[in-house]
Structure 1
Amino acid sequence: MFAKLLLVGAALLPGVALAGHAEEDWPEPIKEYYTGQVLFDRLEISRTDEEKNAAVWDMMAWYGGDYHRVVFKSEGENIQDDGKPTHLESAELMYGYLVSAFWSLQVGIGTRGELSSDSSMENYAVVSFMGLAPYWFEMDNSLMLNEEGDVQFVSETEYEWQLTQTSYLQPRVELTANLTESEEYQRQSGFSNLRVGLRYRHEFSREFAPYIGVYWNSALGNTADRLEHMDQDTTETGWVIGARVWF
């Protein structure tokens, strides 16, 4: 037995010796390369409890390497037959840096508002902390500061519960808080909105996965009080049908 161990050690010694004398100018085993992706996490039609239909999108595109990336995010909706233009919830161009194995820090600029010729868009700076929390919760936390000094925080959390090899159940929570009050954009200070959704998704391929789901949306705090004062609804429920697409 001892002789066998000596033979194994003798066989490993040349490799150990060679590994200890690697030259500094030798090439890396894996060279850095750049790639990208366009992902529509939500591309859907929703119908509310008031029988209103809306087309909704939520997408992210990025290009770069492991640590440095250019990131573009956009969300918005168009309520059908209401006579109003498409509402752009956000369009953000950012630089992303991988700060750990599962988290990326993103810094950039954004704009939002009604997409019409006579509307005034709200421009802002944004800092996002995006990644995978313990127990596989996907999070995207954003802090926004507009030109008037108004500050808003938005946190989005998703979790994918794998039912089979190709089907998933995905709960989603979005919480919005206004750190300051804004008269110009009619935003009240404090927690302002909570949206909870649940989707069932089936993958026909990795790149195309249709889904169905439901959601519940509620105004909070001072925002809810203001809507009640204006005799407007503070809650909304509905169902969605759409697809998750990436390329």
Structure 2
Amino acid sequence: MRYPIGVAVVLLQGVVAAHAQHVSTVSTVPVTSVRYVNGIMPTMDRRLYLHAILEQFEARYSGRGGEFRYDGQAWYGTDYDKLWIKSEGTVSTRGQFGGGDHEALYDRAISRYFDFQTGVRLDIDHGPTRAWGAVGVQGLALYFFELSATAYFSDRGAAGRIEGSYDIFLTNRLILQPQVELNLYSNADRARGVGRGASDIDAGLRLRYEWYRKLAPYIAVTYAGTFGQAADMARRDQQVVHDLNVTFGVRTWF
């Protein structure tokens, strides 16, 4: 019986020695890349990040002419608090800048998938400038629909905007994206062609190929239309009420 006991003792000594060597190796890993603040290691959710995406950068063509449209946003901050910038607009073939609104928002995470946003919106294009206060939410709804709902307030009344989109992966790189944006107003604004109630909609079905993850060209069918009072104003001004376009563009982010 002495021989088996001696073997067990030798094996136990080997295991202990190997464990001691592993602990020694792990304990000597340098941590100089971590920056301490007042002697405390910062948590990862307090780091500052910058992200920007140009969701739409496209040329639209129909039988009545064409226009260029862009829609992008960027944010800077931590996982919980951010400064969020949004901007969109169109440029017609006559060089007229329209539909230009720009938002500066404070963004606060309120759940795993949604953020609360508040700030200001400025309508700046060829028409008269309008300023609004803004409050809303943005994030991922059930089944990962990207959703944004914002209410705006000014001395001219209230307004609302609902935006949604969804990515359908046909392959790992070929993605079909339906998208819609709807604008509503409590009061008409003749100078800006805005009608009371549901005023205008912009929608599209885009097929993009992520040739490079941060650069994806796409083709699309897009629609821009006005309703009710806004449509009547467009007809009186001899403008397009409903416009269906063939569209080419690129989506990029960093």
TM-score of the aligned structures, taking structure 2 as reference length:
0.78
The aligned residue for residue 102 of structure 1 is 113
CA distance in 2: counterparts of 1:204 and 1:225, whole angstroms: 43
**What is the SS of the residue equivalent to 1:129?**
strand
**Letter of the 1:59 counterpart:** G
CA RMSD after TM alignment: 2.2
**Letter of the 1:142 counterpart:** T
Contact 1:212 1:241 in 2 (8 A): yes
The aligned residue for residue 13 of structure 2 is none
The aligned residue for residue 239 of structure 1 is 246
CA distance in 2: counterparts of 1:31 and 1:122, whole angstroms: 37
The aligned residue for residue 80 of structure 2 is 67
Q: Name whichever structure is richer in helix by fraction.
A: 2
CA distance in 1: counterparts of 2:240 and 2:190, whole angstroms: 20
Deviation of residue 235 (structure 1)? 0.9
**What is the SS of the residue equivalent to 1:135?**
helix
1:111 alignment partner, one of 102, 110, 122? 122
Call closer, same or farther: CA 1:165–1:122 in 2, change over 3 Å.
Answer: same
CA distance in 2: counterparts of 1:209 and 1:216, whole angstroms: 21
2:131 alignment partner, one of 123, 133, 136? 123
Matched, 1:171 2:178: yes
Contact 2:128 2:191 in 1 (8 A): no
Larger radius of gyration: 2
The aligned residue for residue 144 of structure 2 is 136
**Letter of the 1:56 counterpart:** R
**Letter of the 1:176 counterpart:** N
Call closer, same or farther: CA 1:165–1:177 in 2, change over 3 Å.
Answer: same
5+ residue gaps in structure 2?
1-38
2:66 alignment partner, one of 53, 75, 84? 53
Deviation of residue 207 (structure 1)? 0.7
1:158 alignment partner, one of 162, 165, 171? 165
Deviation of residue 28 (structure 1)? 7.0
Deviations 1:102-121 (A, max 9, x none): 11111111211325xxx642
Matched, 1:42 2:52: no
Q: Judge which range, 34-43 or 184-193, deviates more.
A: 184-193
Matched, 1:207 2:211: no
CA distance in 1: counterparts of 2:248 and 2:235, whole angstroms: 30
2:234 alignment partner, one of 227, 231, 237? 227
Deviations 1:140-188 (A, max 9, x none): 1121223x33211111110100010111000011111112233443422
Contact 1:176 1:191 in 2 (8 A): yes
Contact 2:199 2:227 in 1 (8 A): yes
5+ residue gaps in structure 1?
1-24
Matched, 1:185 2:186: no
Matched, 1:196 2:203: yes
Contact 1:131 1:140 in 2 (8 A): yes
Call closer, same or farther: CA 1:190–1:164 in 2, change over 3 Å.
Answer: same
**What is the SS of the residue equivalent to 2:234?**
helix
Contact 1:102 1:132 in 2 (8 A): yes
**Letter of the 1:38 counterpart:** A
**Letter of the 1:66 counterpart:** D
The aligned residue for residue 26 of structure 2 is none
Deviation of residue 229 (structure 1)? 5.2
Contact 1:153 1:177 in 2 (8 A): yes
Call closer, same or farther: CA 1:175–1:201 in 2, change over 3 Å.
Answer: same
CA distance in 1: counterparts of 2:237 and 2:41, whole angstroms: 67
Identity between Structure 1 and Structure 2 (%): 26
Contact 2:45 2:80 in 1 (8 A): no
**What is the SS of the residue equivalent to 2:79?**
coil
